[in-house]
Amino acid sequence: MKPFEIFKTGSHVSTQGKAITFSDADVAAIASSYDPANHQAPIVVGHPKTNAPAFGWVKALSVKDGRLVAEPDRLDPSFSEMVRDGKFLKVSAALYDPAAPGNPTPGSYHLRHVGFLGAEPPAVKGLAGIEFAEATDLVLEFAETPWRTAWTMDSIGRLFRGMRDYFIETADIATADRIIPQYEIDQINENAASMRAEAREEEVRPTFSETTKDLSMTNVQKTEAERLAELDAREAAIKARETTFSEANTKAQAAADSAFVEGVIAAGRLPIGLKDTAIALFSEMSDDVLTFSEAGAQKTTSPRGAFRELLEKLPVPVETTELANGNGPDFSDSNQVAIAIQTEIKAAKERGEDIDPATAAMRLKNRR
């Protein structure tokens, strides 16, 4: 088999969710430090934890145009036949992390194995011939794994959270709920958390090759934990802000509804005894869309808007006593006006209303 590309320079995201940038110098260092006498990387299928079984070995590494090229050696004939038949079209290079136990060259990246892939897509794209990613516990891996997918879903969740925050700040929560419901963002976060949990289980699963003396949290895991803590703190802050915004919006709406009811009562369209009832009804009404037919035409409003319109169109009660007969008070006579005001207050009280003299005078004036 001819030499083939297994890696290249650029920024890649490991299966632990860690973004790493490899320069030309980094790739050159991987090639120059590779010594088969110290550790000869096997050619395997997929990314086995134990680097076995080996179907061949990497004899040497070189660099060409920023690409890491592997020279195969001692290939199994049956394996070579499967590659020739197209059963393995992609490859994936697994690298030891500089700080990983068992790294033949501590302090620098080192090739651990080369995995031939079938249907699994590689993360490092654009390699000629057979393409490669990276993987394994105790090593850096750039394959399509739960860590990588969870990292992507976290990014999507943050994007939608930012959009929802924008709609809350520029419009209101109801608008944000219609466009980007909170439960959809929660679902994305839950899926990402499930994938991270799956990846953690894979990381701590015991192997029987290169084991560690200390099973405590690795630097990569610590970074992930810190990032999750930051996400949780940001989520809590946003929820607190939403709650504050909602409470302020509710108070402002209640004040507006109360002022509107008082205006309807002052106009004489609603008995003052029904003030608390009307305000309570407003508090239970929403701004959802309400569609109905009116005079043969379709009308769209909201429950709150419909109730406001109803109160605004209530008729002012017609006085059937002396005012209806044209015997109303003479507003040029202060004594007669005072008597009429007291009479109006008394009549209102009999109807369950408590009105002040100014309201009574306004009603009398409106009936003239």
DSSP string of 81-131, one letter each residue:
HHHHTTS--EEEEEEE-TT-TT-SSTTS-EEEEEEEESSSPBSS---SSSB
Domain boundary assignment for the chain: 4-144, 147-204+219-248, 325-368
**Closest CA relative to residue 185, chosen from 209, 155, 213:** 155
How large is the C-alpha radius of gyration of the chain? Answer: 38
pLDDT 10s digits, 279-308: 888 888 777 777 877 777 888 888 878 888
Which DSSP category does 316 fall into?
Answer: P
Reduced to 3 states (helix: H, G, I; strand: E, B; else coil), residue 296 is coil
The whole-angstrom separation of Cα 43 and Cα 76 is 10
Which DSSP category does 331 fall into?
Answer: T
Token pair belonging to 185 = 């963002």
Would you give the distance in Å from CA 249 to the centre of its chain?
Answer: 23
Cβ atoms of 75 and 53 closer than 8 Å:
no
**Closest CA relative to residue 92, chosen from 139, 162, 20, 141:** 141
Amino acid at 206: P
Would you give the distance in Å from CA 13 to the centre of its chain?
Answer: 21
The whole-angstrom separation of Cα 110 and Cα 29 is 9
Token pair belonging to 315 = 């008729």
Amino acid at 215: L
pLDDT of residue 211: 36
Which DSSP category does 57 fall into?
Answer: E
Q: Long-range pairs for 251-258 at CB < 8 Å and ≥24 separation?
A: 254/279, 254/282, 254/283, 257/282, 257/283, 257/304
**Closest CA relative to residue 95, chosen from 24, 12, 212:** 12
**Closest CA relative to residue 115, chosen from 56, 33, 198, 36:** 56
Cβ atoms of 71 and 191 closer than 8 Å:
no
Name residues whose C-beta falls within 8 Å of residue 123's C-beta, 6 or more positions apart in sequence: 12, 13, 133, 134, 142, 143, 144, 148
pLDDT of residue 274: 83
Mean pLDDT split into 10-residue runs, the chain, 368 residues? 85 71 90 89 79 84 90 86 79 84 86 78 53 42 60 82 87 86 86 75 44 43 64 74 71 85 84 84 78 78 82 69 49 67 87 85 76
The number of beta carbons lying within 10 Å of the beta carbon of residue 9 is 18
Angle of helix 219-266 versus helix 146-170 axis, rounded to 10: 20
Considering Cα of 15, then 107, then 216, then 38, what sign does the dihedral take? positive
pLDDT of residue 63: 93
The number of beta carbons lying within 10 Å of the beta carbon of residue 292 is 9
pLDDT of residue 328: 55
